[in-house]
Amino acid sequence: MEEKIIKESELARISPLTLAYLGDTVYESYIREYLIKRNIFLKINDLHKSAIKYVSAHAQSKAIKGLEDILTEEEIEKYSIIRTVTAVERADVVIIVIDAVEGVTEQDAKIAGIAHENGKGIIIAVNKWDAIEKNDKTVYEYTNKVRDILSFMPYAEMLFISAETGQRLPKLFDTIDAVIENHAMRVGTGVLNEILSEAVAMKQPPSDKGRRLRLYYITQVSVKPPTFVIFINDKELTHFSYTRYIENQIRETFGFRGTPLRFIYRERKDKG
C-alpha cells in the first residue's frame, strides 16, 4: 500500500498516544526526530499507531535552570519531581533511559517507581551499550542487576541500545508499538475464567483458620493498564503471592509484556 502524507488536521482527529522519554538527554533528539517523521509519513492502515505525542521532563530543563538563582536545592528537586510526575501522567508509555556506564541511579529508580504507580507501559532502554566491555555473560549479568534494583516492575521490557551508533533503535520502536498494544489489550471474560479455573485446580488458594479463599469469577473492567476484578468470599484471605500467581497464569497466555496488570478483589456471599 502506498504511503500517504497525513495533514496536521487529519492527525488531530486520531486519538493520540503519548510517549514520555525520561533519562539520558543525548538520546532525546533521535526519538523526537523519529516520532515527528512517524506522525507525518505513515501507511493508511497504520493510523491507529501513528498519532504519538512526545513528552519529556528534560525538555523543560531550561526552565528549571532559570530557577537555580532563586530556589534552594530542595525546592529545585521538588520542582523537578513535579515535572517528571506530570510527564508520566500524560504518557501512555514511559521509556526509562539508563546510562549503561553509570547503571541504575537513584533518580532512575524514582522515575521507574512513578511510572509503575501510575500504571504506565514501561520500557527500560540501557543506552551507551557500545561503551561497555562485554563477554558472553555481560547481558545476562547486567539484566539481572537492573531487574534486581527495579524488582517491583518485572513486566517492563528491556533493551540494550546505543543512540550514537543506532544499535537496536529500530527494535526499540517495534517495542514501543508492542507495549502500546499490550497496555490497551482486552481479554474476553470466558477465556479469563478458564484460566482462573485451571489455576485454582493446579494450586489451591490460601486458607486461614480453616477457611479457604474462594475465587468465583474474574472479568476485565478497564485498560491502560489492564485491570481485572475477581469476585471472592473474603478479602482477608487474599495474599499477594497468590495474586502474583494468578497474574503469571494470565501473562503466560497473553503476554502483556511491558504493562502492569492490576487486580481488584470484591467480596460476595460465600456459597457454602
For residue 24, indicate whether it is catalytic. yes
What is the C-alpha separation between 261 and 89, in angstroms, rounded?
Answer: 17
End-to-end, the C-alpha distance of the chain in Å comes to: 60
Question: All 3 cell numbers of residue 272?
Answer: 457454602
Question: Which phi and psi angles does 256 have, rounded to 5°?
Answer: 55, 35
Q: By the 8 A CB rule, do 212 and 176 touch?
A: no
Nearest to 34 by CA among 20, 52, 16: 52
Tell me the CA distances in angstroms from 248 to 67, 187, 244, 253, 260, one per residue in order.
46, 15, 6, 9, 11
Q: Among 24, 130, 136, 177, which one carries the catalytic annotation?
A: 24
Question: Which phi and psi angles does 217 have, rounded to 5°?
Answer: -165, 145
Cell 479455573, located at residue: 197
CB atoms inside a 10 Å sphere around CB 268 = 11
Cis amide linkage into residue 225, ω under 30° from 0: yes
Question: All 3 cell numbers of residue 232?
Answer: 471472592
H helices of the chain, in order, are: 8-11, 28-40, 47-50, 61-65, 73-90, 106-117, 138-149, 169-183, 189-202, 240-254
Specify the 3-state DSSP secondary structure of 111. helix
**Residues with a known catalytic role:** 24
